[in-house]
Structure 1
């Protein structure tokens, strides 16, 4: 598949694109990559999205380890290779077990989940597959993370779904990764 909305050289960007791109480059991401490559075509949308993403990825109320787990469940649901290539190594670095990552990759419920990971996994799977979360799972998430954490968990699922849709439609090129691609 060809990258439909590939990189635009910085010098060829409009002033508003350069401003939006520079904000991403100057932030914690340090570069314009992944979903921001196609999104730069809409600098205002990209700016709004990157601000939300910066909060959800780096400062969510559930912490980085569980955020990365939620991102992996979302990437798997959407068959999103870019998200998987970027976030599987990060999840591993923040303590998500290799067996958990491997199980998610093949759409199996991981057997080795920690208690908080099991809550996040079940919440995310239900939200993606059933478009809702049952009362038992919601209560477990509320007990584990409070209302702030539950809302952030919903936001992580929605934000990374948005990015997956953008990259799937744009056929964004998959970066080199230390993690195998998602199986078909």
Structure 2
């Protein structure tokens, strides 16, 4: 399967695309990669998405560990190998146990999650699979994370779903992270 929307040659970038790419390069990501390569075709959309993602990835009310867990659940739900390849190592570094990561990769509910991890996992699974969240799971999220945390969790699921849709459609190539592959195909 070939990439449909690979890199745009530098000489072919519009002024708006150059400015949008530079904003991403100057931010915490440091480079245009993954979903931002196909999104560069719509520079204004890319910039709005990037700003949302910067908040959700780096500053959400959930913190990095739980945000990365939500990203992995979303990547698995969408069979998104690029998200998985980028975020599985980050999740491990942030403290998500290898057994939890492996269970998510296998589409199993991890048996050894901490309480906050279980709430995030169950919230994300319900939201992706049923398109809503049950009263019990929502109440659990509200009790642990408050309203902002619950909304940020919805935002993480939605944002990484957008990126998964973009990369699945663009057939974005999986980066070589030097880590064992695992996860979605």
Instruction: Report the TM-score range of the alignment, normalised by the length of the smaller protein.
Output: over 0.9
Provide the rounded CA distance (Å) in 1 between the counterparts of 2:182 and 2:168. 15
Q: TM-score, normalised by structure 2?
A: 0.97
Instruction: Structure 2 unaligned segments of length 5 or more: list them.
Output: none
Provide the rounded CA distance (Å) in 2 between the counterparts of 1:183 and 1:139. 30
Moved over 4 A (4+): none
Cα deviation, residue 112, structure 1? 1.1
Instruction: Structure 1 unaligned segments of length 5 or more: list them.
Output: none
Cα shift readout 1:59-93 (whole Å, capped 9, x = no counterpart): 00000000000000000000000000000000001
Cα shift readout 1:134-184 (whole Å, capped 9, x = no counterpart): 011000000000000000000000000000000000000110121414255
Report the CA distance shift for 1:183/1:169 in structure 2 as closer, same or farther (over 3 A). closer
1:88–1:179 contact (8 Å) kept in structure 2: no
Provide the rounded CA distance (Å) in 2 between the counterparts of 1:14 and 1:183. 34
> What's the secondary structure of 1:144's corresponding residue?
helix
Matched residue, 2:129: 129
1:76–1:107 contact (8 Å) kept in structure 2: yes
2:74–2:157 contact (8 Å) kept in structure 1: yes
Provide the rounded CA distance (Å) in 1 between the counterparts of 2:62 and 2:180. 24
RMSD of the TM alignment (CA)? 0.9
1:89–1:179 contact (8 Å) kept in structure 2: no
Aligned positions of 1:76-95 closer than 5 A: 76-95=76-95
> What's the secondary structure of 2:95's corresponding residue?
coil
Aligned length: 184
